[in-house]
Amino acid sequence: RELHIELEPGTFLVANAGAIVATVIDVMDSGSDGYRFIKIDSGMTEVLRPSLYGAQHPTRVVPSKKGDSRTKDDFIIAGHCCESGDILTPEPGNPEGLHPRRLTEPQPGDALVIEGAGAYCSSLAAKNYNSFPEAPEVFLRKNGKIEIIRSRQTFDQMVANEIV
């Protein structure tokens, strides 16, 4: 018999081709019965999948100082939008639950890399939420050269369609 197959290869081909590089802004502890939180300068404005679906993105802390050895601990990663759903470490498949991740002890100024952000993260984001501009996007060539492929959105671009 003749079969007709349709597939949407976007995620398969490009999900692991992108990463979000955020900066650790603060590290907070809510006490012995709570959690340790990493607050970053990114979040649902760049990657909404954890908030919507409980999607799991591989995440790692990159210390700002080379050779800096630190212990690991369990952390919840919170985005910059100050919303209960702006969490990048939900329970698998449950955006309402929290699921700490074992990560290198972060310090403000460290990078936090959110991997698997190449498919649907840019197009499926809470763009301009809380007046955060769209983040710039860069391309890393095989030869190591970095090129900006989308500039950070300016304030004028964010309000261009608003009528006063």
Check if 121 is active-site.
no
Q: 146: how many CB neighbours lie within 10 A of its CB?
A: 9
Determine the Cα–Cα distance for residues 124 and 138; give it in Å rounded to an integer: 18
Are the C-beta atoms of residues 22 and 115 closer than 8 Å to each other?
A: no
Q: What are phi and psi of 116, to 5 degrees?
A: 65, 30
Question: What are 154's two structure tokens?
Answer: 């300016």
Exactly one of 21, 82, 138, 140 is catalytic; which is it?
82
Q: Tell me which residues are annotated as active site.
A: 82
